[in-house]
Amino acid sequence: MLVQSSRFRFLFPPIQKRIPSSLSFSVASSAMDSASPSMLFLCGKSSTESEIAKSLKINDTLNLPNGGKVSALLQSEINTFRFGEDAFNVDLFWNSLSTKRFGRFLIWSPLLPSTHDIVSHNFCELPVGTVCVADTQFKGRGRSKNAWESPRGCLMFSFTLQMEDGKTVPLVQYVVSLAVTEAIKDVCDRNGFPFIDVRIKWPNDLYLNGLKVGGILCTSTYKSKKFNVSSGIGFNVGNEKPTTCLNTVLKELSTTPNEFRREDITAAFFNKFEMLYDIFINQGFQTLEELYYRTWLHSGQRVIVQEKNEDRVVESVVTIQGLTSSGYLLAIGDDNQMCELHPDGNSFDFFKGLVRRKLE
């Protein structure tokens, strides 16, 4: 196989508008940071998970990276504090959750540096499927180690899973993205809301009306012959800045004062993810491809690839066909040559820098 460095641009103007890359306003983290420990409320859907919560609290097990301290409390202690009406409602979440594994052990915090740091740093201490939700986070993790502050109204959560086949690990982010879009559809159907068309921009962004409203981050470590995967989701539910959010679009489409609730979306996500993940593990991602392609933005998208050939730049047109078995973009040239498109690792926007590998 011949590997060539290349960059490409859209042959036709893309349907989405250019926007700030972050999900929300960035602020200096020092302005929100505090020497006080982060409050973590440990909650279980059943008595089994509740006993785990008690054990973690008694043993003072959880902590933050770099020696950061946390204060672990139980769900029964939430009402001893005064939180705003927009605080995450654990009981609402339990009422909508119907999973057997994912989301049944919940860590909720009103203010946290990063949900992703909580689950990834404490992975081995937590039951697989644990979810951490924050009302506000000020050191949220993005791709390429970017840090984002995320305001109230934004849905921010991270959860854990374990995988054994390393070849499937890169594909799990697509299952997560698909579960988010399916969850939004489910909440709309259950509540009689107008259809909200959230779409996937490869590989891990979520778009609504041409604007970025969410993103996925999956990281993994290898230990004891298993991949410990931490998956984080950020989604604009009630915060209309810096782009738009679900409730803003719903208000424009609906004649009644309806609103999406973060608890309903989070529960719907896990209900959908558990089903899709089981299909993915048992039958492979190809079983989900048709549904995924109906949701993403790129089928038939034509792009211009620029390749260096000695002292000159040669341009050629390729058309995106789908995904390869390894999870990269599959494209075909006007000469019917199939190729695989990889990120070059340098561009923030994946579609402004790719490496093309011709497929023999």
Three-class DSSP category at 218: strand
Count of CB atoms within 10 A of residue 348's CB? 11
Confidence (pLDDT) at 140: 56
Instruction: Kindly indicate the confidence band of residue 143, based on its pLDDT and cuts at 50, 70 and 90.
Output: low
> 76-85, 119-128, 147-156: lowest mean pLDDT where?
147-156
Instruction: Kindly indicate the confidence band of residue 30, based on its pLDDT and cuts at 50, 70 and 90.
Output: very low
Buried b (16+ CB within 10 A) or exposed e, 194-213: eebebbbbbbbbbbbbebbb
- Which fold would CATH assign to domain 29-294? BirA Bifunctional Protein; domain 2 (3.30.930)
| Per-residue tokens: 210 | 């041409």
Confidence (pLDDT) at 26: 33
For 249, the enclosing helix (H) or strand (E) is: helix 246-253
Three-class DSSP category at 217: strand
**What is the distance between the alpha carbons of residues 216 and 228, in angstroms, rounded to a whole number?**
16
**What is the distance between the alpha carbons of residues 19 and 349, in angstroms, rounded to a whole number?**
11
- Give pLDDT tens digits for 185-232: 999 999 999 999 999 999 999 999 999 999 999 999 999 999 999 999
**What is the distance between the alpha carbons of residues 40 and 112, in angstroms, rounded to a whole number?**
9
Mean residue pLDDT across the chain: 86
Instruction: Tell me what the mean pLDDT of segment 109-116 comes to.
Output: 94
Give the N- to C-terminal CA distance of the chain in Å, as an integer.
6
Is the pLDDT higher at 20 or at 52? 52
- Give pLDDT tens digits for 59-98: 999 999 988 889 999 999 999 999 999 999 999 999 999 9
Confidence (pLDDT) at 328: 92
**What is the distance between the alpha carbons of residues 203 and 182, in angstroms, rounded to a whole number?**
17
| Per-residue tokens: 60 | 């003072």
Q: Is the pLDDT of residue 263 over 70?
A: yes
| Per-residue tokens: 135 | 């009302």
**What is the distance between the alpha carbons of residues 129 and 124, in angstroms, rounded to a whole number?**
12
* Angstrom distances, CA of residue 41 to CA of 90, 132, 134, 248, 284: 10, 10, 10, 30, 36
**Delimiting residues of CATH 3.30.930.10 domain(s) in the chain:** 29-294
Residue among 217, 80, 82 nearest 140 (CA): 217
**What is the distance between the alpha carbons of residues 305 and 358, in angstroms, rounded to a whole number?**
12
| Per-residue tokens: 88 | 């995450």
> 162-171, 290-299, 325-334, 347-356: lowest mean pLDDT where?
347-356
